Amino acid sequence: MSEAKRQSKGPVRGYFFDKSVVVTGASSGIGHGVALAFGEQGAQVALLARRRVRLEELARKINRAGGKALALDCDVTDRARVFRAIEQVKEAFGRVDILINSAGLLISDPVEQMRPEDLEKMMAVNVFGALNAMQAVLPVMRKAKSGSIVNISSLAGRRGVSPLGGYSSTKFALVGMTEALRVELFNTGIKVSLVMPGVIDTPMARNALKHDSLKGVSAMMAMPARWVTWAVLAAAAFGLTEVDVPPGAAVAEKLGSLFPGVTDALLSVGTRIMRGAGTLMEGAGKPEHKAKS
């Protein structure tokens, strides 16, 4: 489609036409894809993250695609700023129908070496950031007696894995908070969903895979971000309680929790194999190594 035609495209009457959607972490990865998908369905999308230039680029894309976007630079750990941002969304769109909590931070390290301040940083974004956004939108949704909140946790929020112990604990916390909120909001018209992705090909995963223990995992093994986009849109559309990416991962997790000792042993062996494979791959990549062999 030519740029001129794209510019002239009117509002799209898709499934989420005219819905007011807030997406945190919209400047990158999953949040970026989710925000664009809502925009392409004709939604009014508020984009929250710290990198304003990226948000403005995405806002232009969404407006061209027939949606309506509002770029709001917002650090989700700054509670007052989050509440102000939601006020700005109400002023611009009149209400908030859907909140997607995608902002997240991952710092990988074995628990033994993890710096407490890194865990605090992750807690601030992954748990308190999500809490801030939920508490800011809930009065609006309560008044409307409807709404949908989708929190993106992780399969690492159901089973601790190394070297993601700190990250896992923040995602466990988010799961607990989300489940409790779902009970509190039972029968209020407000739906609360969890999306639980495995490894997804985004800057976060690519960065994490640089860690020594994960170097054997290729980014090619990661699932495409659009799988999570579909899961989030389905969760928001149908008020689904929990969606795993890939589907069925919960079954493996439930089986694993029946035999925790065996699961620990399998994961420990798996981690060692990956570390070994990573070391081999690194060695193979070095010219001096190749010359010797």
Q: In angstroms, give the least distance from the CB of 247 to ligand NAP.
A: 15
Q: Which is nearer to ligand NAP, 134 or 205 (CB)?
A: 205
Q: In angstroms, give the least distance from the CB of 59 to ligand NAP.
A: 14
Q: Which is nearer to ligand NAP, 144 or 251 (CB)?
A: 251
Q: Which is nearer to ligand NAP, 51 or 289 (CB)?
A: 51
Q: Which is nearer to ligand NAP, 197 or 278 (CB)?
A: 197
Q: Which is nearer to ligand NAP, 190 or 228 (CB)?
A: 228
Q: Collapsing DSSP states into helix, strand and coil, what is residue 187?
A: coil
Q: Which residue has the tokens 């010359």?
A: 291
CB 99 within 8 A of CB 154: no
Q: Which is nearer to ligand NAP, 66 or 195 (CB)?
A: 195
Residues 246 and 233: their CA atoms lie apart, in Å, by 15
Q: In angstroms, give the least distance from the CB of 10 to ligand NAP.
A: 29
Q: In angstroms, give the least distance from the CB of 143 to ligand NAP.
A: 26
Q: Which residues, 6 or more positions from 119, have their beta carbon under 8 angstroms from its beta carbon?
A: 166, 169, 170
Q: In angstroms, give the least distance from the CB of 267 to ligand NAP.
A: 17
Question: What letters, b where the CB count within 10 A reaches 16 and e where it falls short, cover 28-44?
Answer: bbbbbbbbbbbbbbbbb
Nearest to residue 108, comparing CAs of 236, 29, 185, 214? 214
Q: Applying CB under 6 A, which residues contact ligand NAP?
A: 24-25, 27-31, 49-51, 75-77, 102-106, 125, 129, 152, 154, 197, 199-200, 202-205
Query: What is the separation, in whole angstroms, between the first and last Cα of the chain?
Result: 53
Q: Which entry of 16, 38, 167, 172 is annotated as an active-site residue?
A: 167
Q: In angstroms, give the least distance from the CB of 122 to ligand NAP.
A: 9
167 is catalytic: yes
Which conformational region is residue 29 in: left (phi greater than 0), alpha (psi within -120 to 50 degrees), or beta? left
* Dihedral, 128, 133, 135, 137 alpha carbons, nearest 10: -170
Q: Which are the catalytic amino acids?
A: 167
